[in-house]
Amino acid sequence: MGINADMVGRTFTLNPFEVERGKIREFAAATGDKNPIYTDRAAAEAAGYDDIPLPPTFGTVVGFWALDETRQTEQLGLPISGVLHGEEEYFYLAPILPGDTLTGERKIASLVERKGKSGSMQIVALETTYTNQNGQEVLKSRTTIVLPENMQEG
């Protein structure tokens, strides 16, 4: 099965994601990030933020939450389970704070077919631009995933 090359360039809208202070704190704790700006509003304000900002890799949470597996399978032909995560890049354009609602536009940027020792694979690059409730672009991400041959067969 896999992803059809005709999908390259296609875009789709992700579900809105509301940023919550508690989730930011949980993420910082789960990733072992001890920087107090992610857990303490006073520390964040002292650092120049209006509230606690997102930790740098929190964009992964937004990306997975905002596109459920059913929609991803239907729109992209790509189940979440069994897919290998290759790489992730984040480009923050403005602070993202509790109370913000993010909406993403995801594009299938590229698709490369490769042969490896254990069979063929597809390497897929996804680019996502997130805007906040004011229409301001606040985050761009680029995700590379690997779809092994055994996942392409359905």
More confident residue, 24 or 60: 24
pTM of the model: 0.84
What fold characterizes domain 5-19+53-152? Thiol Ester Dehydrase; Chain A (3.10.129)
- Which H/E stretch holds residue 15? none
Q: Is the pLDDT of residue 79 over 70?
A: no
- Stretch 131-135: mean pLDDT, rounded? 98
- In angstroms, the CA 128 to CA 131 distance is 10
End-to-end alpha carbon distance in the chain: 6
Q: Are 60 and 30 in contact (CB under 8 A)?
A: no
37-41, 68-72, 87-91: segment of lowest average pLDDT: 68-72
Higher pLDDT, 80 or 49: 49
**Domain map of the chain by residue range?**
5-19+53-152
pLDDT greater at residue 71 or residue 98: 98
- Going by C-alpha positions, the residue among 60, 121, 50 that lies closest to residue 87 is 60
| Model pLDDT, residue 4 | 79
pLDDT of 132 over the 90 cut: yes
Task: Write phi, then psi, for 143 (nearest 5 degrees).
Answer: -115, 135
